[in-house]
Amino acid sequence: MTSLHCGNKIWVFIIFVNCLLMVENVSAATFGCSTGQTDDYRNVALQMNRQYRQLVAQGKAPNKCGQLPSAKNYYEINWDCGLEASAKAAADTCAFSYSGTPGEILFIASASSPSVAVKNGYMTLVNTPPTNGADPDTYSNANNDWNRMVNYRALYVGCASKLC
């Protein structure tokens, strides 16, 4: 792939959101993952996810017509090194296609670094409801990745980026 913007590179960003309860809970301060991603990258991805989910939980997330309603039974999401490893393996292929893994979110971002790619990717996701509209009680194909990110059963997240 080539750069679309002066000085920027194209990053494939992959998130795996696990909708099943897991035993291991890793704090944001020390992740202990060994995929080569930095803790700064992990913190950016986790905090962007948490901040947006908090807006959804409080009924402050923008929608095409106003705001989304507040969420019920909505839990804080945590980082999972196993999900990060799965995302890293998928990102390393540089194939921008869904593998069929539940909870998978894909996007390509033009950015100067992996952390900036994560921010750009999350901004794309959070702008889905204002662009397409989102009904909290209906799953929409136009909002597939956004639906996975805000799913109330999502308790863990792991992300990875790869310069392709």
Higher pLDDT, residue 30 or 58: 58
Q: For position 136, what pLDDT does the model report?
A: 66
List pLDDT tens digits, range 91-101. 888 888 888 77
Is pLDDT at 122 greater than 70 in this prediction?
Answer: yes
pTM: 0.78
42: confidence class by pLDDT, cuts 50, 70, 90: very high
Q: For position 131, what pLDDT does the model report?
A: 85
Q: Considering the chain, what percentage of its residues have pLDDT values greater than 90?
A: 20
Q: For position 102, what pLDDT does the model report?
A: 78
* Of 1, 11, 2, 89, nearest in space to 44 by CA: 11
Distance, in Å, from the CA atom of 111 to the CA atom of 4, rounded to the nearest integer, reads 10
The mean per-residue pLDDT over the stretch 59-68 comes to 90
DSSP state of 113: S
List pLDDT tens digits, range 74-87. 889 999 999 999 88
Q: Tokens for 91, please give them.
A: 């990102």
DSSP 49-112: HHHHHHHHHHT-SEETTEEPPPPSS----EE-HHHHHHHHHHHHTT--S--S-TTEEEEEEEES
Residue type, 97: S
DSSP three-state, residue 37 = coil
Indicate the range of 16-20, 39-43, 62-66, 124-128 predicted with least confidence. Answer: 16-20
Q: For position 14, what pLDDT does the model report?
A: 52
Residues present in the chain in total: 164
Kindly give the pairing relationship between strand 66-67 and strand 78-79: unpaired
List of domains in the chain: 9-163 (3.40.33.10)
Average pLDDT of the chain to the nearest whole number: 78
Helices 39-58, 114-126: axis angle to 10 degrees equals 10
The mean per-residue pLDDT over the stretch 62-72 comes to 88
Q: Tokens for 4, please give them.
A: 């679309």
List pLDDT tens digits, range 129-161. 888 888 766 777 778 888 888 888 888 999 888
